[in-house]
Amino acid sequence: MQRKVTKAVFPVAGLGTRFLPATKSIPKEIMTLVDRPLIQYAIDEARAAGITEFIFVTSRGKSALEDYFDLAPELEAALHSKGKTEMLEMLRDTNMESGAIAHIRQHKALGLGHAVWCARRLIGNEPFAVILTDDVIAAETPCLQQMVEAYEETGGNMVAAMEVAPEKASSYGVLDVAEDLGSLVKVRGMVEKPSAEEAPSNLAVIGRYILTPKVLDNLNNMKAGAGGEIQLTDAIAQEIGGDDGVYGLRFRGQRFDCGSKAGFLQATVAFGLSRPDLSEEFSTYLNELVSSQKAAQ
């Protein structure tokens, strides 16, 4: 099996109900951290890892995502005529090569495993990545790139992994570790959304995957699992003990759960502070805010 990963699946069909009313008319993937939509962070990470084919699994009401990756000739012309070259370059950086993005519909919200399975014909018989746009990861070396580098050594299936508090296990897929090799772990079991008592470890799956096409075969016959949904975790778990196996990579970087309001706000603050054009004004504001709150206590 080849070890070069060139295709990535972005399951973007979710309704985003946690962000209503905003998501009544905009896809949650278009919501912005500072001034870039969540989907842009995911695409940039994929491109940095060498991905050249981007498969969006969408649903009704997501056409703004298609428009976002189209050219914007009127905007470009306006910026050009005003001599705003920096902004023009930033805009052009978001342009995608024609034919690089494919959109596939998931007609029913049957779970993450089902969403990935919807892309099976476009993936074909090669390894592929999956990126969940809710998980935004700030890292010196982008997370998927770290995984691609590790995968070139190991082959098999690989998931991003991170330690979480026991009471949070029920929000994640959780790994049962056979062998701890440092940043890499060899997996002997995976449980989707276990209770704190059932969780086999505190190592949770974060939304980055490199998978073999066998996982798609497994999804062909997959029954509903946790939450009554067809789970990607269950299809990956079937590969444990097979020829390829499953690895977890403790990535280097900070992950923000942008699927929750608190996580989204934390990411907004962190990304705002890391921006050279904003950091001074923003950190002064935050310091003043903290001081005035302390004084009021």
Q: For residues 12 and 79, which CB has a smaller minimum distance to ligand G1P in the complex?
A: 12
Q: For residues 232 and 249, which CB has a smaller minimum distance to ligand G1P in the complex?
A: 232
Angle of CA points 15, 260, 32, to nearest 5°:
75
Q: For residues 165 and 295, which CB has a smaller minimum distance to ligand G1P in the complex?
A: 165
What single-letter amino acid sits at 168? K
Structure token digits, residue 274: 């890391």
Report the nearest approach of ligand G1P to the CB of residue 215 (Å): 13
Report the nearest approach of ligand G1P to the CB of residue 278 (Å): 27
Report the nearest approach of ligand G1P to the CB of residue 277 (Å): 30
Residues 102-161 that bind ligand G1P (CB under 6 A): 112, 132, 135
Structure token digits, residue 52: 């050249």
Residues 261-290 that bind ligand G1P (CB under 6 A): none
173 binds ligand G1P (CB under 6 A): yes
Residues 227-256 that bind ligand G1P (CB under 6 A): 232-233
What single-letter amino acid sits at 226? A
Q: For residues 155 and 263, which CB has a smaller minimum distance to ligand G1P in the complex?
A: 263
Distance, in Å, from the CA atom of 5 to the CA atom of 53, rounded to the nearest integer, reads 10
Q: For residues 206 and 219, which CB has a smaller minimum distance to ligand G1P in the complex?
A: 206
- Binding piece for ligand G1P, criterion CB under 6 A, among 83-91, 141-149, 205-213, 217-225: 205-213
Report the nearest approach of ligand G1P to the CB of residue 89 (Å): 33
Total interface residues for ligand G1P by CB under 6 A: 13
List b or e across 106-129, with b for residues whose CB sees 16 or more CB atoms inside 10 angstroms.
Answer: beeebbbbbbbbbbbeebeeebbb
- Binding piece for ligand G1P, criterion CB under 6 A, among 49-57, 144-152, 178-186, 201-209: 201-209
192 binds ligand G1P (CB under 6 A): yes
Q: What does R_g of the chain's alpha carbons equal in angstroms?
A: 20
3-state SS, 81-117, equals HCCCHHHHHHHHHCCCCCCCEEEEECCCCCCHHHHHH
Distance, in Å, from the CA atom of 251 to the CA atom of 94, rounded to the nearest integer, reads 26
42 binds ligand G1P (CB under 6 A): no
Q: Please give the DSSP secondary-structure letter assigned to residue 3.
A: -
Cis omega before residue 21 (within 30°)? yes
Which distant-in-sequence residues (6+ apart) come within 8 Å of 250 by Cβ?
Answer: 161, 162, 163, 183, 184, 185, 203
- Binding piece for ligand G1P, criterion CB under 6 A, among 1-9, 77-85, 198-206, 282-290: 198-206
Residues that bind ligand G1P (CB under 6 A): 112, 132, 135, 172-173, 192, 204-207, 232-233, 259
